């Protein structure tokens, strides 16, 4: 058995990844993808996401394909923005609190919920280590998220992130001050900056 040429073309255009939704849009059934998986022609990377065997799997990209509402945040955004060398074992995502995501995403990620009016502040996109664009927050929003969630996070990670931000060439301290005020972490930010700078 061989993979249908239309599906193979879609896989190649999308970094060797195809979702169930994409296959259905092309006129194929979920059953066909399952059949290809059983035959060893495809591997199931996540629920609803299939990859060619032996291809390198981009966790962040396949997560993003599963839900358009997630934005990588906290330690995942630190990594994407180059403020951390360590790849997170479990990705952190932010979701508007009026939105539901699948149980699978809730099980695979650390989910942070936020008011819809604050959700898009600082949203941007960055390339993963495999070159795929994924949504994440900018440096300033990431620092504010870490400060907002500091009781749930490792103190050393927060301090290290703020130190790395202070040393970054692309920082925007005015924007950081605006975001800190919007997110109610301006006093905490001032305390950390006074100690570190």
Per-residue b or e along 74-107, where b marks 16 or more CB atoms closer than 10 Å to that residue's CB:
bbbbbbbbebbeeebeebbbbbbeeeebeeebee
Element (H, E) at 134: strand 133-137
**Which segment, 34-43, 49-58, 142-151, is predicted with the most confidence on average?**
142-151
Burial of 155 per CB tally in 10 Å (0-12, 13-18, 19+): exposed
Taking residues 66-79, report their average pLDDT.
94
51: Cα separation from own chain's centroid: 19
Residue 47 has pLDDT above 90, yes or no: no
Q: For the chain, what percent of residues have pLDDT higher than 90?
A: 56
Beta bridge partner(s), residue 96: 114
Compare 117 and 100 and report the one with higher pLDDT: 117
pLDDT at residue 2 in the model: 85
Domain map (residue ranges) of the chain = 5-56, 61-196
Report CA torsion sign: 189, 115, 110, 129.
Answer: negative
In sequence order, the 6+-apart residues with CB closer than 8 A to the CB of 85 are: none
- Nearest-angstrom CA–CA distance, 191 and 195: 6
Q: What are phi and psi of 162, to 5 degrees?
A: -70, -40
pLDDT at residue 58 in the model: 85
pLDDT at residue 194 in the model: 83
């Amino acid at each position: 058995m061989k993979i249908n040429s239309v599906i193979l073309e879609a896989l190649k255009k999308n970094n060797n990844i195809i979702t169930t939704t994409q296959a259905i849009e092309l006129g194929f059934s979920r059953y066909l993808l399952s059949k290809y998986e059983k035959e060893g022609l495809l591997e199931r990377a996540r629920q609803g996401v299939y990859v060619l065997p032996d291809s390198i799997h981009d966790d962040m990209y396949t997560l993003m394909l599963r839900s358009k509402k997630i934005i990588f945040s906290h330690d995942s955004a630190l990594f994407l923005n180059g403020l951390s060398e360590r790849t997170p074992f479990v990705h952190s995502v932010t979701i508007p609190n009026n939105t539901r995501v699948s149980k699978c995403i809730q099980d695979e990620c650390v989910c942070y919920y936020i008011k819809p009016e604050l959700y898009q502040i600082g949203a941007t996109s960055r390339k993963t280590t495999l070159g795929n664009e994924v949504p994440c927050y900018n440096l300033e929003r990431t620092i504010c998220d870490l400060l907002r969630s500091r009781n749930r996070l490792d103190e050393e990670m927060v301090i290290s992130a703020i130190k790395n931000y202070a040393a970054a060439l692309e920082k925007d301290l005015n924007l950081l001050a605006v975001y800190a005020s919007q997110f109610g972490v301006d006093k905490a930010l001032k305390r950390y900056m006074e100690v570190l700078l």
